[in-house]
Amino acid sequence: MALTIEQKKLVVAEVAEVASKAYSAVGAEYRGLTVEQMTAMRVKARESGVYLRVIKNTLAKRAVEGTEFACIRESLTGPLVLAFSLEDPGSAARLMKDFAKEYDKLEVKIVALGGQLLSASDLERVASLPTREEALSMLLSVMQAPIAKLARTLNEVPGKLVRTVAAIRDQKQAA
């Protein structure tokens, strides 16, 4: 059943709102996937904070216009499922990478990050980006390292003194 103009406007507005908040976008050709496979992908997308939508390319072009994902407009050809990462930059790429391994028919065509269109081969690199929690833990370890090293250095001075005194004591006892 065809969409009315009002329904199309709602779809475009919804996707435009999501695209304005998203960190990255991935587009994949889903030709040949079954309904069960697409449903499984949608469930996994909801769990990982990814907005997943099958949308007509003309509507998608209008939706991404004026967002940082306007760079994907020329690549929107064929039957595509668009995935937008809402929680961290790599979540949509991880989702598509996992499903592309499992289902050969899912072929990634578009990868966009930070307003730049990347090649589909960069999917692995984007998927390896850390989550928010991982990035915060890395930052904390980098911030904590100088303090920990200072504490170890300061602790080494009395330890070295104790070892020196013990060595002198042992030397005097032996003599």
Residue 51: alpha-carbon gap to chain centroid: 13
For the whole model, what pTM was predicted? 0.73
**50-54, strands of its sheet edge to edge:** 50-54, 80-85, 24-29, 107-113, 116-118
pLDDT tens profile 35-53: 998 999 999 999 988 999 9
Find tokens 């990814």 and name the residue: 50
Instruction: Record the tokens describing residue 128, joined without a space.
Output: 């390896």
pLDDT tens profile 52-68: 999 898 998 898 888 88
Mean model confidence pLDDT for the chain: 86
DSSP letter for each residue of 111-156: EEETTEEEPGGGHHHHHTS--HHHHHHHHHHHHHHHHHHHHHHHHH
The stretch 102-123 carries a mean pLDDT of: 84
The stretch 7-20 carries a mean pLDDT of: 89
pLDDT band at residue 133 using 50, 70 and 90 as cut-offs: confident
Q: Tell me which DSSP letter residue 78 carries.
A: S
What is the pLDDT, as a whole number, of residue 83?
Answer: 92
What SS3 state is found at 90?
coil
The stretch 142-155 carries a mean pLDDT of: 83
What is the pLDDT, as a whole number, of residue 121?
Answer: 81
What is the pLDDT, as a whole number, of residue 1?
Answer: 58
The CA-based angle 147-152-158, given to 5 degrees, is: 135
6/15 Cα distance (integer angstroms): 14
The stretch 145-171 carries a mean pLDDT of: 84
Residue 154: alpha-carbon gap to chain centroid: 40
pLDDT tens profile 69-102: 888 888 888 888 999 988 888 888 888 888 888 8
